[in-house]
Amino acid sequence: MRRTDVIAARSFALRASIFLASLVIVASCAGSEAQPGSRDRDAERRRMVEVQLRGRDIRHARVLDIMGTVPRHLFVPEPERHRAYNDTPLPIGHGQTISQPYIVAFMTQELAIEPGHRVLEIGTGSGYQAAVLGALAKEVYTIEIVAPLAHRADQILKSL
C-alpha cells in the first residue's frame, strides 16, 4: 500500500508526493466520518454539490462524486468550519485561503483528469484540492512553500 509522503526541502519549503492509494482512503472514509455531526456534514456536502456545483455548470460525474465525498470541513481551520460548505473562499492562515467549492470543482473539471494521469499542483494550501485531485489521478505531486500550511495539509491527508 502506498502512503502520503511529505519531504522537507529546506526549512520553509516542502514537497508532498501524494499517491492514489492513500487518497482513495480520503474518498472512502469521507462518507463514514466517526465525528459528531457527521450526518450534518454529509447533508452539507450533498447540498453543496446539488446547489453550488450541479446547479451551475459542473457536469463531470466523477468530479461531482468526489466533491460529495471529500470532507472539506477538515481542511478548514476550526473557527471557520461552520462555513466550510459555503460558496466562498475561507482563510486558512498565513494570508492564504481555501478556494470556494465551485472553483475547486471547475478547475478539476477543466483538467479532465483520467485515472492514469499524474498531476503537479503548485501551492498545496489546505490540501483540499490535492485530496480532490488525488481521488481522480494516479498520482498528485503538490508543492507548498509555507511550511506550517504544508505540515497541516500533510497531517490532514494522513488522518483520512
| Residues taking part in catalysis | 99
For the record, the C-alpha cell of 15 comes out as 514537497
Considering just the CA atoms, what is the radius of gyration of the chain in Å? 15
H-helix or E-strand spanning residue 96: strand 96-98
- Distance CA(117)–CA(29), nearest Å, equals 23
Whats the size of the chain, residue-wise? 160
Which class for 142: exposed (0-12), middle (13-18), buried (19 or more C-beta within 10 A)? buried
